[in-house]
Chains A and B, each alone.
Chain A
Amino acid sequence: MSITDLDLYGQAILLLAGLITLTSFLMLGQSRLPRLVMIFAVQGWLLAAATSLAAAVLDYPHLYVSAAMTLGLKGLLIPILLQRLMLRLGLHREMDTLTHPASVMMGGTSLVIFSYYVSLPVIAHSPLVTLNAIAVSLAVVLLGMLLMITRRQAVAHVVGFMSIENGLFFAAVVATYGMPMVVELGIAFDVLVAAVVFGVFFFQINDSIDSLNVDQLNKLSEVEP
C-alpha cells in the first residue's frame, strides 16, 4: 500500500505527521525562547488536528475528547503559562544559541532515520499505511530529547519534555486509536501537574543561581574537589 491508496483524510493525517516532524526540527534550531514556545504551541495544534482527523476516519468519538484535551493543554494552557513565566523572569530577551547548528540538524536527521529503522518490525505486520506515522512519533520523542540535550535554558528543557509527551500521544493515536480514557485522563493530569511543578521550579532555580541557565547548576558531581 502506498499513499495513493488512502483517501484524502488518511493522506491529511500523514501530511500532518510530516509537518509535526518539521516543527520538531524548527524547535531544534530556534534560539529565541518566545518563538520556541510558539512553535511548540503550533505542534500542539497540529497534533489536535491529526487526532480529530483520525477520529473522523476511524470513527472513534472518544478521540475527539482526546483532541480537545490536547488542544487545551498543549496548544493553549502550557504555552500561555510558559510565556507568562518568561515575561515575569525576563527571559524573553535571552538568546539560547546553538554552538553547532549543522551538527545538531544532522544529528536530528539521523535520529529520524534511526527511529524509522527501529519501528520497521512494528510497521511490517500491519496493512495500515497510517501506521508509518509511528516512526514519526518515535522521531518526535527522540528529537525532543535532542532538544533537551543541546539547550542550556530551563524553559527549553521544559519545551523538550512536553514535546516528548506530544510524540508519545501521537504514537498512541496512530498505533492504538488512542489509549483508554482513564489512562488519557491520567496522562493529561500528570502533564498538567508537571507543568505547574516546572513553573515552581523556575522560581526556585532563579532564586538559587539567579539565572535559568542550567549549565550553572553544577555543584553536585562525582568528582569531589
Chain B
Amino acid sequence: MSAVYALFGVTLGGMALLAWRGAGPHSGIINLRCNALALLAAMWLAGDVLLNGPQLSAGGLLYIDSFNVYLVALTAFVGLTTAIFSNPYMAHERELGRLTGRRLRLYHSMYQGFMLAMYVVLTTNNMGVMWVAMEGATLATVLLVSLYRTPESVEAAWKYFILCGVGIAQALFGTVLLFFAAEQKLGVGGDALHWTVLNQNAALLDPAIMSLAFVFLLVGYGTKMGLVPLHNWLPDAHSEGPTPMSAILSGLLLNDALYAVVRCKMLVDGALGTHLAGNLMMGFGLVSFLVAALFLHRQTDIKRLFSYSSIEHMGLMTFAFGVGGPWATFAALFHMTTHSLTKSAIFVTVGHAAQLAGTQRMDRIRGLILTQPAIGWGLLMGTAAIAGFPPFGVFASEFLVLVATMREYPWLTPLLLLGIGLAFAGLFRNVQPMVYGDVPEGQKPIVANLWPVALHLAIVLGLGLAIPAFLGDWFNQATQLITGMAP
C-alpha cells in the first residue's frame, strides 16, 4: 500500500513544485524527474500486487488488483516518455515565442495534476471518487488545450469543457443510481459505493435500476472515451493542444475512461445476468469504429487524422470488451497497451513533423523522409503499426479480436474487416504523400529527440512478435478478474 501513497506523493509534490517554479528553464527536467519517480513507484506497486495479490487500503478507499495495476504501470511509462519528449519540444516552442513562461508553468503543473487525477481514477475503490477524479482530469487539461490562445484552440477547449462536462454529469447520475441500488439492498452506509462491496453483492442489486444506471454510466464515461455520437470534442481537443498534450490525452485518458466503463460493466453483468451491458458496448463500439474509419478520409489536418484513429481504436476496444469472454477480453487488454504506446509515439512524431513543416495541414507537409529521415521513418512505421500491419502488436490484438468475434458473432466479422480496411486506406492515403512527396523549399531538419518514439515502436514490435511471460500472466490474471474465465 505504501507504494500507492508514494505514487500520489510524488505526483502531488511535483504539481506543487511546478506550480511554484514552473516558469524556469529547468521545469521540463523537474517534470521528467517526477515522472521517473512515479514510474519507479508504479513498478514497485506492480511487483507488490503480482506477488501478494489484490490489495485493499484501510477504509476501503483504494483497491489495487491486476487489472488496474497494469494500467497504472502503463500510464506511468507513457507519462515518462512523453515528458522526455516534452522537455526539448516545449523549450523550442518557447524559443519560437508561441508560449510564455507563465503558460509553461501552468502546463507543467497541470501535467502533473493530470497524472495525479489518472492515478486516482485507476486506483480508487469508491465509484464516486472515480467520478471526481475523472472530472478532475478534464479540468486539469482543459486550460492546456487552449494554451496557444489561437481562436481555434479556444474554441476547441470550450467545446471540450462543455461537452465532456455535460457528458460526465450523466455519469454522476448513473453513480447516484448505483448508490441508490446498493443502499436499497445493503443498507445505508459509506461503503455502498465501494466497487469491492458492489462486486461481491452484485447479484442482490435490482436489475431495472442497474440497467438504467449502466446506460447513464456508459453515456457519461463514453463521452470521455470518444464513443460516437458523443465524440465531437475529441478531434478538436486533440489537435489544437500542444503535442505532448495530444499524446497523453490520446494515449492515457481514453484508456482510463474505458477502464471505468469496464468496471461498471463487471457490476452490471453480475446484477443482470443478461448480456445487456455487453450488447450496448458492442453497439456503440462498432458504430464508433465504422464512423471514425469513414471520417478518416475527409481530414485535412494531420492531428485530426490521428484523433479519428484514436476514436476508431477505442471503438474497437469497447466492442471487444462488449463481446466478453476470455479471448476478446485478453485481446482488448492487449490492445489497450499497444494502442497507447503506438498512439503516443505517433503524436510525438506528428508534432515534430508539424514543427518541421511549420503547419499542421497535410497538403502542405511533404518530403519528410528526405528532409529528416528519422521523422519520416518514424511516421511511416507508426502509421503502419496503428493501421494494423503485422508484425506490430496492434495486428496481433486486432487479429485476436477478430478470432473472438468469429467464435461468438460471426456475422459481425465482415463489418470489422471493412472498418480495418477503410482505416488502413484512409491513413496511408494521407501519410504517403507526406512522407514521400517532393520537398518544399526551405524545409530544414530540426532538433528532435526521437528516442521515445523508437522505444515505443520497438516495444510494440516486440509485443507483436512475442508477449513476454510476465505480461502474459498479467493479462491472464486481469482477464480472469473481468470475465471469471481464463483464456
Contact = CB atoms under 8 A, between A and B. Distances in A.
User: Do A and B touch each other in the complex, judged by CB within 8 A?
Assistant: yes
Interface in B260-319: 295, 298, 300
A126 interface: yes
A31 B169 CA distance: 25
A180 B189 CA distance: 8
Contact of A177 (B135, B188, B209): B188
Contacts of B298: 222, 224
B136 interface: yes
Given A118-B212, A179-B193, A182-B126, A164 B155 contact: no
Given A190-B136, A219-B152, A183 B129 contact: yes
Contacts of A219: 151-152, 155
Given A122-B177, A193-B139, A186 B129 contact: yes
Interface in A173-221: 175-177, 179-183, 186-187, 189-190, 193-194, 197-198, 200-201, 204-205, 207-209, 214, 217-220
Contact of A121 (B157, B158, B169, B209): B209
Main SS class of interface, B? helix
A219 B183 CA distance: 48
Given A186-B129, A197-B139, A220 B193 contact: no
Nearest to A154: B158
Interface stretch (B41-49, B142-150, B327-335): B142-150
A207 B173 CA distance: 35
B217 interface: no
A19 B132 CA distance: 29
Contact of A168 (B155, B161, B172): B172
Contacts of B150: 208
Given A161-B162, A219-B155, A220-B155, A179 B143 contact: no
Contacts of B236: 220
B180 A176 contact: yes
Contact of A197 (B142, B155, B208, B212): B142
B154 interface: yes
Contacts of A148: 162, 166
A182 B129 contact: yes
B391 interface: no
A145 interface: yes
Contacts of B151: 208-209, 217, 219
Nearest to A182: B129
Contacts of A145: 166
A125 B314 CA distance: 37
Nearest to B188: A177
B176 A175 contact: yes
Interface string B159-182: 101100110010011001101100
B126 A165 contact: no
A92 B184 CA distance: 47
A121 B61 contact: no
Contact of B300 (A186, A194, A218, A224): A224
A138 interface: yes
A141 B158 contact: no
Interface residues of B, number: 48
Contact of B126 (A121, A180, A205): A180
Contacts of B155: 208, 217-220
B154 A183 contact: no
Contacts of A168: 169, 172-173, 176
Given A176-B183, A224-B300, A200 B143 contact: yes
A218 B136 CA distance: 27
Contacts of A224: 298, 300
B433 interface: no
A220 B240 CA distance: 10
B143 A197 contact: yes
A84 B158 CA distance: 21
A165 to B, nearest CB: 7
Contacts of A189: 132
Contacts of A165: 169
A157 interface: yes
B128 A171 contact: no
A207 B149 contact: yes
Interface in B104-145: 126, 128-129, 131-133, 135-136, 139, 142-143
Given A193-B139, A219-B152, A220-B152, 14 more contacts: A121-B209, A125-B208, A125-B209, A176-B179, A176-B180, A180-B190, A194-B139, A201-B158, A204-B149, A205-B154, A208-B154, A220-B236, A220-B240, A222-B298
Interface of A: 118, 121-122, 125-126, 138, 141, 145, 148, 154, 157, 161, 164-165, 168, 171-172, 175-177, 179-183, 186-187, 189-190, 193-194, 197-198, 200-201, 204-205, 207-209, 214, 217-220, 222, 224
10 contacts: A121-B208, A121-B209, A161-B165, A175-B177, A177-B188, A201-B154, A205-B154, A208-B155, A219-B152, A219-B155
